[in-house]
């Protein structure tokens, strides 16, 4: 259990009014959580302090060798005023997986959960209550040792910042167009595609820029070896409904991130008696199914958008339209069910939500 010291800001910011259209990740709450790591001493110095700039050596390893990882989850305002987290234990576990691959010392899962809980509880008045809005939680770890030699850093900083964010869909759930990228790749087997690491994003920006340039919202990534098997769409997992079955790429290739939303969607589909398949999906197989009129729905999944319906895909200059280009009934049902559970409006049969209850050391509620 962490001993978290709290220094409150003397200069609190005004919270965004209910009339303000919150966008994503642009404003931050008054406080942040910090935890230091020093080789030999381990993680120490847990503290919540006023939100502010960090001071780092310009030689800090994160700037040169990208030894960095992050997580992303949200706190939701329930109609009865409670603040809920959605499956934060999965983020804690995934953080451990990421750290192990990047030679970053692991933060104990219970310390991660305590830190998230304590900070969100302190900032609970920042959890917005407008429809579809939430408090985005961004934990991350950076290598801070100021040495240019290539080696795992001997010092790290674990940070959590919070950002009140608006609904991903300002104008309601709308289908997007996807550009299938067959030149650049995002991740290769044995690499770090299955991690939430900044480096994965740096190398995928070019796909996003290309997609935008061609008039599409996101790039869909194919596998690095064959340029044939479908992996992910932007920073989301991808699902297809083909001839009544729900199909998504399996994770064994090591280049696909194990999304919390992905796992939740698979669980809900199984609950509803829909046949699910986790397996490699080749682009040529997909196009054959398309030709037979079997592709009923396509959607991306992730914490930010929850469900992002895809209305059309462009592959090698040919545009394929999904159904009538509108939102499929399964996409709609999954979106309504998941957001219903996250916001505490619907029964939580799997025990996925966790109420934020700040605890000072020794579990005393504050």
Ligand X SMILES: *Cc1c(COP(=O)(O)O)cnc(C)c1O
Is 177 among the residues that bind ligand X (CB under 6 A)?
Answer: no
Among 104, 115, 178, 260, binds ligand X (CB under 6 A): 260
**Binding residue for ligand X (CB under 6 A) from 118, 261, 308, 331?**
261
Q: Does 119 engage in binding with ligand X (CB under 6 A)?
A: no
The count of residues interacting with ligand X (CB under 6 A) is: 14
Asked if 328 touches ligand X (CB under 6 A), the answer is no
- Which of the stretches 111-119, 243-251, 260-268, 316-324 binds ligand X when contact is defined by CB under 6 A? 260-268
Asked if 303 is part of the footprint of ligand X (rule: CB under 6 A), the reply reads yes
Residue 5 is given by DSSP the state E
Choose which of 135, 173, 180, 257 interacts with ligand X (CB under 6 A). Answer: 257
339 binds ligand X (CB under 6 A): no
Whole-angstrom distance, CA of residue 92 vs CA of residue 109: 5
Residue 236 within binding range of ligand X, rule CB under 6 A: yes
Among residues 123, 223, 232, 296, which is the contact residue for ligand X, using CB under 6 A? 232
**From CA 64, how far away is CA 56, in angstroms rounded?**
13
Q: Which stretch binds ligand X (CB under 6 A): 109-117, 164-172, 257-265, 269-277?
A: 257-265
Binding mask 63-102 for ligand X (x = CB under 6 A): ---------x------------------------------
Whole-angstrom distance, CA of residue 58 vs CA of residue 144? 9
Do residues 16 and 163 make contact, with C-beta atoms less than 8 angstroms apart? no
Residue choice 2, 235, 266, 295 for contact with ligand X (CB under 6 A) = 235
Q: Is 241 helix (H, G, I), strand (E, B) or coil?
A: strand
Cβ of residue 237: shortest distance to ligand X, in angstroms?
5
What distances in angstroms separate CA 247 from CA 15, 182, 239, 263, 305, one per listed residue?
42, 21, 6, 13, 19
Distance set, CA 291 to CA 155, 206, 243, 316, 320 (Å): 55, 30, 12, 16, 10
CA 160/CA 347 separation, integer angstroms: 30
| Residue 114 vs 261, nearer CB to ligand X | 261
| Nearest Cα to Cα of residue 255 among 284, 227, 277 | 227
What is the closest distance, in whole angstroms, from the C-beta atom of residue 204 to ligand X in the complex? Answer: 8
Query: If we measure between CA atoms, which residue out of 215, 216, 174, 177 comes closest to residue 326?
Result: 174
- Nearest residue (CB) to ligand X, 118 versus 301: 301
Strand bridging mode 176-181 / 306-315? parallel
Rounded CA-CA distance 68/145 in Å is 12
d(CA 195, CA 198): 9
Segment near ligand X (CB under 6 A); pick from 37-45, 52-60, 253-261, 290-298: 253-261
Query: Considering the complex, what minimum distance in angstroms separates the CB of residue 7 from ligand X?
Result: 31
Q: Specify the residue, 109 or 359, whose C-beta has the smaller distance to ligand X.
A: 109
The residues facing 300 across adjacent strands are: 238, 308
CA atoms of 246 and 265, how far apart (whole Å): 10
Interstrand relation of 353-355 and 83-86 (parallel, antiparallel or unpaired): antiparallel
262 lines the binding site for ligand X (CB under 6 A): yes
Rule CB under 6 A: is residue 353 a binding residue for ligand X?
A: no
Shortest Cβ 247–ligand X spacing (Å): 17
Q: What is the closest distance, in whole angstroms, from the C-beta atom of residue 36 to ligand X in the complex? A: 26
d(CA 220, CA 362): 47
Q: Which residues bind ligand X (CB under 6 A)?
A: 72, 196, 232, 235-237, 257, 259-262, 301-303
């Amino acid at each position: 259990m962490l001993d978290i010291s709290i220094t409150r800001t003397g200069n609190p910011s005004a919270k965004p009014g209910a009339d303000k259209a919150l966008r994503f990740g642009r404003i931050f709450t008054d406080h942040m959580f910090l935890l230091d790591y020093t080789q030999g001493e381990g993680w120490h110095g847990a503290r919540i302090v006023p939100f502010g700039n960090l001071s780092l050596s310009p030689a800090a390893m994160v700037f040169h060798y990208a030894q960095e990882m992050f997580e992303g989850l949200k706190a939701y305002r329930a109609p009865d005023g409670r603040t809920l987290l959605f499956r934060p234990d999965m983020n804690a576990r995934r953080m451990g997986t990421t750290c192990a691959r990047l030679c970053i010392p692991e933060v104990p899962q219970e310390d991660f959960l305590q830190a998230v809980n304590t900070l969100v509880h302190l900032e609970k008045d920042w959890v917005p209550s407008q429809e579809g809005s939430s408090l985005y939680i961004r934990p991350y770890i950076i290598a801070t040792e100021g040495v240019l030699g290539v080696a795992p850093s001997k010092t790290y900083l674990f940070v959590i910042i919070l950002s009140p964010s608006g609904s991903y869909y300002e104008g309601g759930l709308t289908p997007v167009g996807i550009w299938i990228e067959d030149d650049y790749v995002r991740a290769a087997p044995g690499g770090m595609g299955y991690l939430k690491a900044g480096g994965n994003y740096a190398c995928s920006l070019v796909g996003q820029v290309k997609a935008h340039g061609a008039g599409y919202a996101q790039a869909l990534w194919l596998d690095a070896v064959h340029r044939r098997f479908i992996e992910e769409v932007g920073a989301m997992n991808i699902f297809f409904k083909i001839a009544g079955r729900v199909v998504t790429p399996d994770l064994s290739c090591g280049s696909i991130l194990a999304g919390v939303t992905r796992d939740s969607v698979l669980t809900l589909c199984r609950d509803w008696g829909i046949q699910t398949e986790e397996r490699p999906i080749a682009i040529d197989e997909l196009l054959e199914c398309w030709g037979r009129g079997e592709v009923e729905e396509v959607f991306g999944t992730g914490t930010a958008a929850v469900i992002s319906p895809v209305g059309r895909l462009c592959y090698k200059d040919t545009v394929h339209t999904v159904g009538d280009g509108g939102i499929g009934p399964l996409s709609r049902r999954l979106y309504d069910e998941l957001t219903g559970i996250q916001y505490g409006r619907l029964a939580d049969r799997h025990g996925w939500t966790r109420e934020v209850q700040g605890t000072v050391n020794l579990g005393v509620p504050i």
